[in-house]
Amino acid sequence: MARLPAMPEQSIIDGFKGKIDFYLYMGIPVARRWPRSPGHNRAPAVQAQWVAFAEAARLWSTLAPEVKAAWEELAADSDLTAKDWFTRGYISGYTVEE
Protein backbone atom coordinates (compact mmCIF):
# COMPACT_ATOMS: atom_id res chain seq x y z
CA MET A 1 0.00 0.00 0.00
CA ALA A 2 1.29 3.44 -0.89
CA ARG A 3 0.13 6.68 0.69
CA LEU A 4 -0.82 9.41 -1.75
CA PRO A 5 -0.69 13.16 -1.14
CA ALA A 6 -4.18 13.44 -2.68
CA MET A 7 -6.67 11.24 -4.49
CA PRO A 8 -6.05 11.43 -8.27
CA GLU A 9 -8.71 12.55 -10.73
CA GLN A 10 -11.31 10.00 -11.82
CA SER A 11 -9.84 9.82 -15.34
CA ILE A 12 -6.49 8.71 -13.89
CA ILE A 13 -8.18 6.15 -11.64
CA ASP A 14 -10.16 4.83 -14.62
CA GLY A 15 -6.95 4.51 -16.63
CA PHE A 16 -5.44 2.18 -14.04
CA LYS A 17 -8.57 0.02 -13.59
CA GLY A 18 -7.56 -3.59 -13.18
CA LYS A 19 -3.96 -2.64 -12.32
CA ILE A 20 -4.05 -0.25 -9.34
CA ASP A 21 -6.76 0.08 -6.70
CA PHE A 22 -7.21 3.61 -5.34
CA TYR A 23 -9.19 4.12 -2.14
CA LEU A 24 -9.37 5.96 1.17
CA TYR A 25 -8.05 4.16 4.23
CA MET A 26 -9.12 5.91 7.44
CA GLY A 27 -9.41 9.12 5.43
CA ILE A 28 -5.93 8.77 3.87
CA PRO A 29 -5.70 8.38 0.06
CA VAL A 30 -3.83 5.17 -0.75
CA ALA A 31 -3.15 2.88 -3.70
CA ARG A 32 -2.27 -0.79 -3.97
CA ARG A 33 -1.90 -3.43 -6.61
CA TRP A 34 -5.31 -4.54 -7.87
CA PRO A 35 -6.52 -7.50 -5.78
CA ARG A 36 -6.21 -10.81 -7.56
CA SER A 37 -7.97 -14.10 -7.00
CA PRO A 38 -5.67 -16.90 -5.90
CA GLY A 39 -7.37 -19.10 -8.49
CA HIS A 40 -7.89 -22.69 -7.48
CA ASN A 41 -5.04 -22.70 -4.97
CA ARG A 42 -6.82 -22.57 -1.61
CA ALA A 43 -5.61 -23.54 1.83
CA PRO A 44 -6.71 -27.01 2.99
CA ALA A 45 -8.78 -25.45 5.79
CA VAL A 46 -10.68 -23.35 3.23
CA GLN A 47 -11.27 -26.36 0.98
CA ALA A 48 -12.57 -28.36 3.96
CA GLN A 49 -15.35 -25.78 4.44
CA TRP A 50 -16.62 -26.08 0.85
CA VAL A 51 -18.66 -29.19 1.66
CA ALA A 52 -20.44 -27.45 4.55
CA PHE A 53 -21.25 -24.38 2.44
CA ALA A 54 -22.55 -26.56 -0.40
CA GLU A 55 -24.76 -28.49 2.03
CA ALA A 56 -26.09 -25.25 3.55
CA ALA A 57 -26.99 -23.98 0.06
CA ARG A 58 -28.73 -27.25 -0.75
CA LEU A 59 -30.69 -27.19 2.51
CA TRP A 60 -31.75 -23.56 1.99
CA SER A 61 -33.42 -24.52 -1.28
CA THR A 62 -35.43 -27.26 0.48
CA LEU A 63 -36.82 -25.10 3.31
CA ALA A 64 -40.56 -24.51 3.55
CA PRO A 65 -41.71 -20.97 2.73
CA GLU A 66 -42.77 -20.43 6.35
CA VAL A 67 -39.30 -21.29 7.60
CA LYS A 68 -37.66 -19.00 5.03
CA ALA A 69 -40.04 -16.24 6.15
CA ALA A 70 -38.79 -16.67 9.72
CA TRP A 71 -35.18 -16.32 8.54
CA GLU A 72 -36.17 -13.23 6.53
CA GLU A 73 -37.73 -11.71 9.64
CA LEU A 74 -34.48 -12.33 11.53
CA ALA A 75 -32.49 -10.67 8.73
CA ALA A 76 -34.79 -7.66 8.35
CA ASP A 77 -32.77 -5.32 10.60
CA SER A 78 -29.29 -6.49 9.63
CA ASP A 79 -26.84 -6.23 6.74
CA LEU A 80 -27.09 -9.98 6.12
CA THR A 81 -29.64 -11.76 3.97
CA ALA A 82 -31.89 -14.53 5.28
CA LYS A 83 -29.74 -17.07 3.42
CA ASP A 84 -26.59 -15.60 5.01
CA TRP A 85 -28.12 -16.01 8.48
CA PHE A 86 -29.17 -19.57 7.70
CA THR A 87 -25.72 -20.45 6.35
CA ARG A 88 -24.05 -18.90 9.38
CA GLY A 89 -26.32 -20.92 11.65
CA TYR A 90 -25.67 -24.13 9.74
CA ILE A 91 -21.89 -23.68 9.68
CA SER A 92 -21.76 -22.89 13.42
CA GLY A 93 -24.08 -25.78 14.31
CA TYR A 94 -27.06 -23.71 15.47
CA THR A 95 -29.48 -25.09 12.90
CA VAL A 96 -30.58 -28.69 12.93
CA GLU A 97 -31.24 -30.74 9.84
CA GLU A 98 -34.62 -32.51 9.96
Indicate the pLDDT class of residue 38, thresholds 50, 70 and 90. confident
Task: Establish if 24 belongs to a structural domain.
Answer: yes
Task: Establish if 98 belongs to a structural domain.
Answer: no
- For residues 21 and 49, state if they share a domain: no
Task: Tell me which DSSP letter residue 32 carries.
Answer: E
**Domain that residue 54 falls in:** 44-92
For residues 87 and 60, the answer to whether their CB atoms sit within 8 Å is yes
- For residues 51 and 77, state if they share a domain: yes
- For residues 50 and 88, state if they share a domain: yes
- What pLDDT digit, counting tens, does each position of 4-31 carry? 999 999 999 999 998 999 999 999 999 9
Helix and strand numbers, DSSP H then E, in the chain: 4, 3
- What pLDDT digit, counting tens, does each position of 62-81 carry? 999 999 999 999 999 999 99
For residues 47 and 20, the answer to whether their CB atoms sit within 8 Å is no
Q: Whole-model pTM?
A: 0.56
